[in-house]
Amino acid sequence: MVPQNHPVFDQPTMPMPPARRRGDNKLLVLAGIGGLILITAPIVAFSQASGPEPVVTEPGNPGVVPEVGNQPPRPVTVSPLPGGPAVVDNVRRLMLLARGQDNTVLRNFAVSASGAAPSGWTNLGGSAVGAPVGVRDGHGELAAFFVGTDGNLFYKYQAAQAQAPTTEWVNLKGAKLVGTPAVAPNAQGKLLVAARANDGTVRVIQQNQIGSDDWTEWSSPLPVFATGDLAIHRDAQGKLRIFGIGLDKKLWEVSETRLASNDWAPPANLGGTLFGVPSVAMDGQGRLCVFALGEDGSLMRIREADAASREWLGWQNLGHRLAGNPIAVPDARGTVMIYGLNEDGSLQEIWAESSDVKPVNHGGNIAELVGVAQDSTGRIYVYGIGKKGDMEGIHQTQPASGPWSNWSSELGGVFLPSGG
75 band by pLDDT with thresholds 50, 70 and 90: confident
* pLDDT higher than threshold 50 for residue 51: no
Q: What is the pLDDT of residues 203-245, one digit of tens each?
A: 999 999 999 999 999 998 888 899 899 999 999 999 999 999 9
Neighbours of 371 (CB within 10 A): 25
Judge whether 217 lies within some domain.
yes
Judge whether 41 lies within some domain.
no
Q: What is the pLDDT of residues 293-315, one digit of tens each?
A: 999 999 999 999 999 999 999 99
Task: Choose the weakest-confidence range: 97-111, 202-216, 243-257, 348-362.
Answer: 348-362
Fill in the DSSP letter of residue 5. Answer: T
Range of the domain at 400: 86-412
Judge whether 163 lies within some domain.
yes
119 band by pLDDT with thresholds 50, 70 and 90: very high
> How many domains would you assign to the chain?
1
User: Which domain CATH number covers 92?
Assistant: 2.120.10.70
* pLDDT higher than threshold 50 for residue 30: no
* pLDDT higher than threshold 90 for residue 382: yes
* pLDDT higher than threshold 80 for residue 67: no
Judge whether 67 lies within some domain.
no
Position 224 scores a pLDDT of 85
Nearest-angstrom CA–CA distance, 207 and 137: 10
115 band by pLDDT with thresholds 50, 70 and 90: confident
Judge whether 305 lies within some domain.
yes
Position 187 scores a pLDDT of 96
End-to-end CA distance of the chain: 24
Judge whether 74 lies within some domain.
no
Nearest-angstrom CA–CA distance, 318 and 129: 32
Q: Give the residues across from 302 on adjacent strands.
A: 290
* pLDDT higher than threshold 70 for residue 70: no
Judge whether 16 lies within some domain.
no
Position 58 scores a pLDDT of 32
Nearest-angstrom CA–CA distance, 384 and 417: 9
Half-sphere exposure of 389 (CA within 13 A, CB side): 6
Judge whether 20 lies within some domain.
no
Position 317 scores a pLDDT of 93
Q: What is the pLDDT of residues 125-180, one digit of tens each?
A: 999 999 999 999 999 999 999 999 999 999 999 999 888 887 899 999 998 999 99
Q: What is the mean pLDDT of the chain?
A: 84
